[in-house]
């Protein structure tokens, strides 16, 4: 399931998956990816869409959510206001 979500992100043009960290003790996976603002926004959307497709919350154990809040980080020349707009 996690691999399918990572694949959905990796398939977005201009986006690169940098890291994946799964923590079974906390029942979570953190996925780090970068790209231009439009690509990152699309990749985040695709990850949510794939999670919604694959995770049956009626059968899910642990957290009450399947996708938590994203952490948006500004790199290089992008304005913080642009990062805030993408996060909305």
Domain definitions of the chain by residue range: 2-87
State the average pLDDT over residues 12-34: 87
- Cβ proximity of 20 and 30 under 8 Å: yes
State the average pLDDT over residues 27-32: 82
CA-to-CA distance for 63 and 65, rounded, in angstroms?
5
Render the burial of 41-61: b for 16+ CB within 10 Å, e for the rest. Answer: bbbbebbeebbeeeeeeeeee
pLDDT at 30 over 90: no
Nearest-10 Cα torsion for 32, 70, 3, 10 = -60
pLDDT of 14: 94
pLDDT at 85 over 80: no
CATH of domain 2-87: 3.30.990.10
Q: Higher-confidence residue: 46 or 58? A: 46
pLDDT of 57: 67
State the average pLDDT over residues 53-62: 71
């Amino acid at each position: 399931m996690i691999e399918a979500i990572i694949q959905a992100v990796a398939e977005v043009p201009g986006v690169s998956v940098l890291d994946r960290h799964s923590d079974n003790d906390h029942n979570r996976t953190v996925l780090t990816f970068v790209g231009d603002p439009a690509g990152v926004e699309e990749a985040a959307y695709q990850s949510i869409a794939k999670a919604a497709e694959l995770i049956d919350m009626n059968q899910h154990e642990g957290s009450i959510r399947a996708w938590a809040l994203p952490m948006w980080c500004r790199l290089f020349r992008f304005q913080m206001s642009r990062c805030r707009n993408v996060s909305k």
